[in-house]
Amino acid sequence: MGNTLLITKLNRNDICCIATALYSGQRLVEITLEPLNQQSILGNIYVGRVKNIVKNLNAAFIEIAPGMPCYYPLDEMKRPLFVKKINSPRLVQGDEVVVQVSKENSKSKPPKVTTNLNFTGKYLVLSSENTQIGFSKKLEEQKREELKQELCFGNPGEWGVIVRTNAADASKEEILEEYELLKQEYFHLKETAPYRTVFSCLKESMPEYLHILQNVNQSQLSSILTDDLELLGKIRGYLEHFQPEDLGKLTFYEDPMLSLSKLYRLEHRLKEALQEKVWLKSGGFLVIQPTEALTVIDVNSGRSISKKQVQEHYLAINLEAAEEIAHQLRLRNLSGIIIVDFIDMKSSQSQELLMQRLRNAVCLDTVPVQVVDMTKLNLVELTRKKVKKTLAEQAEQASL
């Protein structure tokens, strides 16, 4: 059974947002909430001005709008595109430079920007500072080798290319055609940027629901559903221009008796995804508690009680919990440091089995997750790359 991408408007308490939900069968895998009149700046490219340099952080704060400083790590700087450079070999206060928003603001942290400009297509990502040719780790090894042999991007040293997972189902001609379009977009921005004023937005990222449509694994996507005519027009326009081969997957849902969100129990699933407690089929449960510094997940046996073969019983709960934790990380978009307190097990063999199950489960995530290790206190450490706000933050922003 393929995946379904649901794009709809949620209206509650006179607040409206666009919900983009990915379902595998009837199970909600991912959801993003986008305030209708407040588009994210993630991916936008600006002419920024260096506000100040903080030496002890080895970072700069670059304003992309008056009063909107963004964090920029100086050790990431390779070949920035300057619009205005003060006479100094280093980045200094007052320099005007082209930057792209690479992370949204989160709680007390400002947005993060980069001078490594990325131009993203369905099959490729072209980057300005990372000049390597790379391939998605989610491509099968045989397919990766085939693409390495077939594709020739040259190696000008002026830009780099990452071949995305969706390239597995594309022809060589389709991939190289997109490559030429991305190069043209990059060249145009380089040529026009020196003539733009500070705080100009050189490239505005597409709405998040279209960005998700671009990034979803197309080989696993069987249908795209919406029940909103305005969204239908925008989705169709995007597909016709960028992904005509996926037009046949788009369906407009019409049923005055049962809305699309109720058919897929979207609001109920969203409410569950914002709760602290998650029940397991075995009767055990997870308690998920995000804090400012990290997220803590506690695994409990709950109603699941077995007086016989206690250790085997704990292992079964932990293995189920590992699968559910991987699912919840993706669903809630939890990131940063994550500490999991599994039920203690005496056997080192059981511990290794658990760690392997967890590693396999997080491999399905579209965001990089690293299972670090199990500490002496039997706490499991993970990290998940931070890009977008958590689901809880998105819900708060949308006032749901």
Angle at 60 between CA 95 and CA 111, to 5 degrees: 110
**pLDDT at residue number 188:** 96
Among all chains, which residue has been given the structure tokens 């001078």?
115
State the pLDDT at residue 2: 84
Q: What is the 8-class DSSP label of residue 74?
A: G
Q: Distance between CA 93 and CA 85 in Å, rounded?
A: 10
Asked whether 247 and 232 are in contact (CB, 8 A), the reply is no
**If you ran DSSP here, which 8-state letter would residue 219 be given?**
G
Domain covering 274-392 in this structure, CATH number: 3.40.630
Q: Which residue has the tokens 């693409």?
A: 147
pLDDT in tens, 45-72: 999 999 999 999 999 999 999 999 999 9
Q: Any idea where the domains of the chain sit in the sequence?
A: 3-38+207-267, 41-204, 274-392
Tell me whether domains 41-204 and 274-392 share a fold.
Answer: no
* Predicted local distance difference test score (pLDDT) of residue 107: 73
Low-confidence ranges of the chain (pLDDT < 50): none
Output the pLDDT for position 156.
Answer: 63
- The pLDDT value given to residue 4: 96
Q: Output the pLDDT for position 305.
A: 64
Q: What is the DSSP letter of 62?
A: E
Cβ atoms 282, 316 nearer than 8 A? yes
How confident is the model at residue 219, as a pLDDT? 84
For 41-204, CATH number out of 2.40.50.140, 3.30.450.40, 3.40.50.300, 3.10.20.740 equals 2.40.50.140
What pTM does this model have? 0.86
What pLDDT shows up at residue 217?
86
Question: Which two structure tokens, joined as six digits, stand for 207?
Answer: 């709405």
CATH number of this structure's domain 3-38+207-267: 3.30.420
Strand-pair partners of 147:
none
Residue 306 has what pLDDT? 59
* β partners of residue 161: 126, 133
The 10 Å Cβ neighbour count of residue 385 is 12
